């Protein structure tokens, strides 16, 4: 039988692991969604956005994709 303290520490560790997994899943979902938006743009726009946003600044990339989309029309 485990002590309450050990059980609490195990639950906290599991909770942290689940939070990390959720965070990674949310990032992946956001990246896939933005990649779908980028694919709808012209090749030149795609190249510009990928060079300008090499990291995971997803909010800025979303806005930039919207601007590029408006400029294409």
pLDDT tens digits along 2-29: 899 999 999 999 999 999 999 999 988 8
Instruction: Tell me if 53 sits within 8 A of 64, measured CB to CB.
Output: yes
Q: Is the pLDDT of residue 47 over 80?
A: yes
- Cα separation, 46 vs 25, whole angstroms: 24
Q: Is the pLDDT of residue 73 over 60?
A: no
DSSP characters over 36-57: HHHHTS-HHHHHHHHHH--SS-
pTM of the complete model beyond 0.75? no
Give the model's pLDDT for residue 57: 62
Give the model's pLDDT for residue 71: 76
């Amino acid at each position: 039988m485990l002590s309450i303290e050990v059980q609490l520490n195990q639950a906290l560790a599991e909770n942290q692991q689940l939070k990390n997994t959720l965070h990674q899943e949310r990032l992946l979902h956001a990246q896939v969604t933005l990649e779908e938006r980028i694919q709808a743009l012209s090749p030149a726009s795609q190249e510009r956005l990928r060079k300008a946003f090499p990291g995971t600044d997803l909010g800025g990339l979303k806005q930039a994709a919207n601007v590029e989309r408006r400029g294409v029309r």
